[in-house]
Structure 1
Amino acid sequence: MSIERLLKAQKQENQEIVDAILGDGSHPDADYTIEHHFSSTNFDRLEKAAVDAFKSGFEVNDAEEMELEDGSVIYCFDAIASHKLEVELLDQACEALLTLAAKQKVDYDGWGTYFIDENGDEVRDDEFEDDEEDEDIIH
């Protein structure tokens, strides 16, 4: 798929994700940690993409090796930014990162963030799981 088509699809997804997060009650004016996901079967290419992302102003975490269900191995890392949950900012970042991924021949796998409560605190998935486990305890 061409970068233009990928970007068009990503922009639509950006709008849907932002609408869903804010619709669930996440804090609209908070700064969000945005984790853009990259992967590749080629570690050297992924490493070059990480360097490019860092040079573009993103924080980059260490690459991780993951084994897929079929036994094959991929490498992945996140390029991390912190900013308001605004579609325009996400669209700009996604365009730059999709271009970077195409240049280095790695996969851009979208982005993720965390729900932010009314106090401005990130609520991570493991906190929801802990709450659910607590509900199962009978006192």
Structure 2
Amino acid sequence: MQEWREETAAIVNELLADGSNPDLDYEIEHHFACQKFDLLEKAALDLFKAGFDVTDAEEMELDDGATIFCFDAMVECKLDIDTIVADIEKMLPILEKYGVDYDGWGTYFQE
């Protein structure tokens, strides 16, 4: 978790240093991937039950020709390190249960 806390702090601090508005709510998009669609689908359902909005799964081809499936889970919140890390902590046990990879999170600059 320390790695995710450090990465989250870096992203938040960079956005704020660039002038992103700290008073607004942000749509935080958490990214997930798995080679097995059925496991990805189960993780998405559990994340939905845990209160996250989830996107439909997409199929992607990697550079080596392998196929993976991915989706995002979204939550709206302030650009707050502790809040975002708490969401990651809530998601990780679900992902581990199904062998789904957490691929970080992102959001957009807001003036």
Question: What band does the TM-score fall into relative to the shorter chain?
Answer: over 0.9
Q: Which residue of 2 aligns with 1:20?
A: 14
Q: Distance in 1 between matches of 2:75 and 2:108?
A: 13
Q: What is the Cα deviation at residue 114 of structure 1?
A: 0.3
Q: Distance in 2 between matches of 1:8 and 1:103?
A: 20
Stretches of structure 2 that go unaligned for 5 or more consecutive residues are none
Q: Which residue of 1 aligns with 2:86?
A: 92
Larger Rg: 1
Stretches of structure 1 that go unaligned for 5 or more consecutive residues are 1-6, 118-139
TM-score by length of 1: 0.78
Report 1 or 2 for greater relative contact order, CA contacts < 8 Å, sequence distance ≥ 6. Answer: 2
Paired residue for 2:105, among 98, 102, 111? 111
Q: Distance in 2 between matches of 1:101 and 1:47?
A: 11
Q: Distance in 2 between matches of 1:87 and 1:99?
A: 19
Q: Distance in 1 between matches of 2:45 and 2:61?
A: 23
Aligned residues: 111
Superposition pairs for residues 1-139 of structure 1, below 5 Å?
A: 7-117=1-111
After TM superposition, where is structure 1 displaced by more than 4 Å over at least 4 residues in a row?
none
Q: What is the Cα deviation at residue 91 of structure 1?
A: 0.9
TM-score by length of 2: 0.98
Q: Distance in 2 between matches of 1:85 and 1:52?
A: 24
